[in-house]
Amino acid sequence: MALGYYFGIDVGGTSVKMSLYSEKEDAFIKKWSIKSGKFDDENILIDSIIDSMKQVCAEEGLDFKASKGIGIGIPGPVTDDGTVLNCVNLGWGILKLKEILVKKTGISNIEVGNDANVAALGEMWKGAGKGYKSVMMVTLGTGVGGGLVIDGHIHAGNKGAAGEIGHITVEAGEEDTCGCGCKGCLEQYASATGIVRMARKMYPETYKEDVTAKDIFDAAKEGCEKAENVVEKFASYLGTALSNVANVVSPEVFIIGGGVAAAGQIITEKVSNYYRQYSMYALKDTDIRLAALGNDAGIYGCVKMVIKGENR
Amino acid sequence: MALGYYFGIDVGGTSVKMSLYSEKEDAFIKKWSIKSGKFDDENILIDSIIDSMKQVCAEEGLDFKASKGIGIGIPGPVTDDGTVLNCVNLGWGILKLKEILVKKTGISNIEVGNDANVAALGEMWKGAGKGYKSVMMVTLGTGVGGGLVIDGHIHAGNKGAAGEIGHITVEAGEEDTCGCGCKGCLEQYASATGIVRMARKMYPETYKEDVTAKDIFDAAKEGCEKAENVVEKFASYLGTALSNVANVVSPEVFIIGGGVAAAGQIITEKVSNYYRQYSMYALKDTDIRLAALGNDAGIYGCVKMVIKGENR
């Protein structure tokens, strides 16, 4: 193996997505998962990740210590120096993860990023953002997450809080409270949960407890007027929010991913309409695309953080 | 002069603010102005700026060609490569200004930036943002401008459109149209013009055509309830907008400048209240400060763009 190999590790709340990437083949030579979760001691999860990397190296006949780098994504805020700040899903407080990993592995080229930022970087490198260097990725799942890449690098921001566009205020008149404690956050209208909440508020007789965001998008595609109205409202909030994001950072492309985005073109078409309506002239033609890498975006981004010295 | 000297040039619509900065003294050794405006040929203004620099060098006994760099701010969108895109105030179309200036002067270290971005950089270097590397500056004047500095560098964004936070949508119910063609932009509530517009809409009997934003802030400070209500509304729109900006880029500090900011602490206090109310926990204590450099922010930022190799 003339060129190096790298590990891309995307840590979630229930499982850790692991990967071994070969620079020569420009591809993953192995992808696997291990169990994640909250443990009494953070070292339990960290050590099991390291052990798993070592074991795969042994299986593949590779020297673990010769690995050229490890990129790791965490579901919580991460600062530029690789410190994790309070990761609720893992039960972690403030943890100098980069420092800990360098010490435990003896490998110096290690970077830690927030999972949404890492996914944005992955999409830029190998997915829907190929060819671009400034990317805003929005993940529409149970909540609304966001990742920001500027000039080819993750922009973590002060306290690792950049890109958290789920908590942009889009509705001053909202009465329900968002998980963050504020009212009128984008997440209350554009997440899977938010779409259902809106639908049930708009049409309480039609939409009962068991309706899903997927049901609503499916019905809208089939021409159901009520579902169409819910989708329009969803799109108007998300389109406005993206136009506000464009006013702040002016990315080259917006990428929409996450479970809700499985609804497909209806999302980008509707959201683009509102985006253009609310945007200044110079920003109107910024592309809004669907994510291309699915759950692999994170591991691609993790590798990208540490490959070719382009990390920071 | 062991260390070098630099030119910082802030081009406005009616005058060009010029400066000669000495690295050794870490100060401007001369500040002066020349006339600006719309001319039939862009070379007229460009050549008069160059001639003026040369003349001052002659007066000061300096060799123009030995200048270590020229930074120039333009009141319009500027891309990372120093291209100006349609500067209405100067009557310019698309102009590769950096390239033109390098050719005309023979000096290679030249950077061009948008005036608001350059002012933000100046405040970071020598003003209210000293010690910080990520700064969002908001300029409240006839309009609302914004400049964004990330990791010590201006972030111009795609089409030079980043930082234009005056056109963030903050009010979905607005009926009047903003200068940009959209409705409900921050500029319609937080600029000098916008504050007067709001006041006259809220209290048409009290506020007539001749009222100014300064009158309203002065009255609010003296306890006039109507004026206080206008200021609260202004602050709620600006506070919400800044919390949305924080969700996108999470700067270390917000700096508020421009004519309206002359009202002083009342602005930062009121805006901070709303900012904290609308912000996620991690973002609540981001500092909101008044600008410190006044009209000199631009020339400081112009010098900062080209000094010490920290430009890009």
What does each of the 312 residues of chain A score in pLDDT, given as a tens digit? 347 999 999 999 899 999 999 999 999 999 999 999 999 999 999 999 999 999 999 999 999 999 999 999 999 999 999 999 988 889 999 999 999 999 999 999 999 999 999 999 999 999 999 999 999 999 999 899 999 999 999 999 999 999 999 999 999 889 999 988 889 999 999 999 999 999 999 999 999 999 999 999 999 999 999 999 999 999 999 999 999 999 999 999 999 999 999 999 999 999 999 999 999 888 999 999 999 999 999 999 999 999 974 433
Output the pLDDT for position A173. Answer: 87
- Nearest one of A74, A75, A67, A33 to A52, comparing CA atoms: A33
Query: Pairing state of beta strands A135-140 and A144-150?
Result: antiparallel
B12: contact with A, CB 8 A cutoff = no
Look at B165 and A247 and tell me if their CB atoms are within 8 Å: yes
Facing A280 at nearest CB: one of B180, B277, B282: B180
Facing B283 at nearest CB: one of A161, A171, A240: A161
Output the pLDDT for position B162. Answer: 95
B174: contact with A, CB 8 A cutoff = no
CA distance B115 to B155: 12
Task: Work out the minimum CA distance from B302 to partner chain A, whole angstroms.
Answer: 21
Output the pLDDT for position B280. Answer: 86
Residues 6+ apart with CB under 8 A from B184: B169, B170, B171, B172, B173, B174, B178
A278: contact with B, CB 8 A cutoff = yes
CA distance A69 to B22: 44
Look at A159 and B250 and tell me if their CB atoms are within 8 Å: yes
Inter-residue contact A246 to A281 (CB < 8 Å): no
Q: Which of A81, A164, A187, A250 to mutate to test the interface with B (most CBs of B within 10 A)?
A: A250
Q: Which of A170, A186, A247 to mutate to test the interface with B (most CBs of B within 10 A)?
A: A247
Burial of residue B304 (number of CB atoms within 10 Å: 0-12, 13-18, 19+): buried
Look at A157 and B278 and tell me if their CB atoms are within 8 Å: no
Inter-residue contact B143 to B191 (CB < 8 Å): yes
DSSP B52-81: HHHHHHHHHT--GGG--EEEEEESS-B-TT
- Its sign, for the CA torsion B187, B188, B193, B196, is negative
Interface ipTM: 0.89
Inter-helix orientation angle B265-278/B213-221, to 10°? 90
Residue A8 forms beta bridges with which residues?
A19, A71
A239: contact with B, CB 8 A cutoff = no
Look at B134 and A150 and tell me if their CB atoms are within 8 Å: no
Output the pLDDT for position B173. Answer: 87
Output the pLDDT for position B50. Answer: 98
Instruction: Report how far apart, in Å, the C-alpha atoms of B300 and of each of A262, B27, B60, B80, B145 are.
Output: 49, 9, 20, 19, 18
| Amino acid identity for residue A300 in this structure | Y
Output the pLDDT for position B194. Answer: 96
Residues of A in contact with B149 (CB under 8 A): none
Instruction: Report how far apart, in Å, the C-alpha atoms of B134 and of each of A270, B2, B149, B230, B239 are.
Output: 34, 31, 5, 31, 19
Output the pLDDT for position A3. Answer: 74
Q: How many residue pairs from chains A and B have C-beta atoms closer than 8 A?
A: 123
Look at A161 and B280 and tell me if their CB atoms are within 8 Å: yes
Residue A74 forms beta bridges with which residues?
A114
Output the pLDDT for position B1. Answer: 39
User: If chain B, 312 residues long, is cut into consecutive pieces of 10 residues, what is the mean pLDDT of each piece?
Assistant: 83 95 95 94 96 96 95 94 90 95 97 96 97 96 93 94 92 89 93 96 95 97 97 97 96 96 97 94 93 96 84 36
Residues in A 100-159 with any Cβ partner in B closer than 8 A: 134, 148, 150, 155-159
Inter-residue contact A104 to A50 (CB < 8 Å): yes
Name the E strands within A36-185.
69-74, 110-114, 135-140, 144-150, 153-154
What's the half-sphere exposure (Cβ side, CA atoms, 13 Å) at A268? 17
DSSP B207-271: --TT--HHHHHHHHHTT-HHHHHHHHHHHHHHHHHHHHHHHHH--SEEEEESGGGGGTHHHHHHH
Facing A182 at nearest CB: one of B160, B163, B278: B278
Q: Which of A87, A151, A158 to mutate to test the interface with B (most CBs of B within 10 A)?
A: A158
Q: What's this model's pTM, rounded to 2 decimal places?
A: 0.92
Output the pLDDT for position A86. Answer: 83
A243: contact with B, CB 8 A cutoff = yes
Look at B283 and A159 and tell me if their CB atoms are within 8 Å: yes
- Nearest one of B180, B170, B172, B166 to A247, comparing CA atoms: B166
| Amino acid identity for residue A33 in this structure | S
CA distance B230 to B237: 11
What's the half-sphere exposure (Cβ side, CA atoms, 13 Å) at B177? 6
Residue B289 phi/psi, 5-degree rounding, is -125, 160
Look at A165 and B247 and tell me if their CB atoms are within 8 Å: yes
Residue B211 phi/psi, 5-degree rounding, is -70, 145
